[in-house]
């Protein structure tokens, strides 16, 4: 067996990256469901604004779920795909029965902060492995989500 996978990365590094990406995937899936729930259940004066914004967030999160899973496959590994696995692997916990607009926004903020921290871990591993594809993906997500965190903090401090 070769030491390198089909895209030229050392197999040990690719395996470590796939494991970390599966943790990221689990967090994305749980977070996606939380935001979907916020979209469905939000109440209050900002209903229309938040309902629309949560849809924007969950649509983007769903696209990233697919991209992370496809990156795991590109590395030559299998993405986890059972919610029981997601619940075990995720740092983000299910957020049930939340309908207050401020609490929903706080849940979104916390979720993005967790994703950013995980993606920094992925970025460090990818850099060490000379994996530009994974590093680029993680860097793009971090940059985009840092701006979202800033905006959510601005919203909550009004």
pLDDT of residue 36: 98
User: Which tens digits make up the pLDDT trace of 36-76?
Assistant: 999 999 999 999 999 999 999 999 999 999 999 999 999 99
* Dihedral sign (CA 126, 127, 129, 132): positive
For the chain, what is the radius of gyration of the CA atoms? 17
Residue with tokens 């992925």: 122
Is residue 92's pLDDT more than 90? yes
Say if CB 102 and CB 156 are below 8 A apart: yes
Dump pLDDT digits (tens) for 10-29: 999 999 999 999 999 999 99
Residue with tokens 């692997």: 89
**Mean pLDDT to the nearest integer, 105-115:** 98
Contact 105, 83 (CB under 8 A): no
Residue 2: pLDDT band with limits 50, 70, 90: confident
Closest to 102 in 3D by CA, of 46, 30, 151, 147 = 46
The proportion of the chain whose per-residue pLDDT surpasses 90, expressed as a percent, equals: 98
């Amino acid at each position: 067996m070769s030491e390198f996978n089909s895209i030229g990365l050392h197999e040990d590094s690719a395996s470590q990256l796939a494991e970390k990406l599966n943790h990221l995937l689990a967090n994305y899936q749980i977070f996606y469901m939380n935001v979907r729930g916020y979209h469905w259940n939000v109440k209050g004066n900002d209903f229309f604004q938040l309902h629309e914004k949560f849809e924007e967030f969950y649509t983007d999160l769903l696209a990233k779920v697919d991209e992370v899973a496809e990156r795991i496959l590109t590395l030559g590994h299998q993405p986890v795909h059972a919610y029981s696995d997601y619940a075990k692997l995720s740092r983000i916990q299910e957020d049930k029965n939340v309908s207050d607009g401020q609490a929903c926004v706080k849940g979104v903020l916390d979720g993005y902060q967790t994703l950013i921290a995980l993606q920094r871990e992925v970025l460090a591993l990818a850099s060490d492995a000379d994996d530009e594809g994974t590093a680029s993906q993680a860097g793009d997500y971090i940059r985009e989500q840092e701006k979202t965190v800033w905006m959510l903090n601005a919203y909550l401090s009004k």
